[in-house]
Amino acid sequence: MRPRIVIVGAGFGGMAAVRALKGAAADITLVDQTNHHLFQPLLYQVATAALSPADIATASRVLTRGQPEVRVLMAEAVGVDPKEKLLRLADGDPLPFDHLVLATGAAYSFFGHDEWAEHAQVLKSLDDALAIRERLLFAFEKAERTDDPQEVRRLLTFVVVGGGPTGVEMAGTIAELALTTLARDFRRIDPKSARILLCEAGQHVLGAFPADLPAYATEALRSLGVEVRLGQAVSLVDSAGIVLGEERIDAANVLWCAGTQARPAARWLAADAARNGAVRVRPDCSVPGHPDIFAIGDVSSFEAGDGRPLPGLAPVAKQQGKYVGKLLAARIAGRAAPPPFRYRDMGTMAVIGRSRAIADFGRFQMRGFLAWLAWSLVHLMLLVDFRSRVMVYTNWSWAWFTYGRGARLLTGKGRKDSARKDG
């Protein structure tokens, strides 16, 4: 009987594991709640109308066409029975496995204030991105037909919480949306008057970057008109906006880009977990006490040589997925296992806006146009298929020369969401 490998999650880690297992003498099942692989680093561009969903997502079945040993299953995993070796699903019979790879990712954390989730939008899925896009664009449409100046100001106030890469990227692109793309499209309101705030409890945005790169990012954001608020924590999020320190800020849209927490794989396995809920794994990415169960990407906590866990980045997940796939292929073929996993740090980047980005490559850093160009090339190459690369490149080129955005259609969801929130 061929060994059964179940991989949970079609993100960077899960898909890398699938590809590394190509040709293995095993029956592989890829399980995900959606039917597609999503390129999350560009998700914010869907949320700000720069790209369409199909530009950064590809059907999982398309990506596995060349692997007849792979079965794709659209289902939600809700638990693991490690003793019986069963993956429990939200509906249907459990899946038996001989080897299990958990690549379930992470979700946003509201730091013990889960009630804030009702009033703040997060960005983790295509549904999230489309909901944000609808609300952003609808805020301008609603302001155009509003006579109350105070209401116009509330509608055109956008608060982004969290000064990490996602928060910085969101704040910068919302500012560019208002300053350039929408600037000439309205008659009664001035989109340039939109107020964009980026709130970071720490003393710097992009605090993981070295040297003076965070200072450059802050100044670049401010040059776009973004109000950067540092050293103040959000103490309340409600239907009217936020409270930052002691200050009430009325806003129609609050975007939460702060802390994250791992999906509940550690709880499923009763395994040791890091502070963010990620499973602490062994040097081969397996779960202690369960040599046939692996956790990779954001759901895992892998300590590097310096004793610190690896960051929750796409390259980490991809490298771990490739490593585990090769390890399992070697195990099935009776070959010697590869040496313990070692992460190759290829650098970290963050884009701030048009021609503005920062990049840390360890021995040297980049900023400005060159960093933005490097960021663009790297992200184009990381897209999983040729069609996506062509579409993203075409949209970026068109936006570069025209300052336009081609994904600005409203379907009414933003109107319904806004009415529900305001009510």
User: Catalytic residue numbers?
Assistant: 169
Closest CA relative to residue 52, chosen from 42, 65, 61, 62: 42
Other beta carbons within 10 angstroms of residue 55's beta carbon come to 25
User: Strand pairing of 157-161 and 253-256?
Assistant: parallel
Rg (CA), the chain: 22
What are the structure tokens assigned to 176, written together? 């560019």
Give the chain's end-to-end CA distance (angstroms, integer): 59
Contacts of 396-402 with C-beta under 8 Å, sequence gap 24+, read 396/50, 399/50, 400/354
Alpha-carbon span 151 to 359, nearest angstrom: 39
Q: How far apart are CA 97 and CA 147, in angstroms?
A: 62
- Give the orientation angle of helix 386-402 with respect to helix 369-382, to 10 degrees: 150
CA pair distance 222, 96, nearest whole angstrom: 54
Residues paired with residue 356 on neighbouring β-strands, in sequence order? 353
Q: Distance of alpha carbon 353 from its chain centroid, rounded?
A: 18
Three-class secondary structure of residue 28 per DSSP: strand
Give the separation between CA 324 and CA 302, rounded to whole angstroms: 13
Residue 127, C-beta contacts closer than 8 angstroms, at least 6 positions apart: none
CA distance 366 to 305: 26
Pairwise CA distance, residues 72 & 87, whole Å: 15
Chain-centroid distance of CA 347 in Å reads: 18
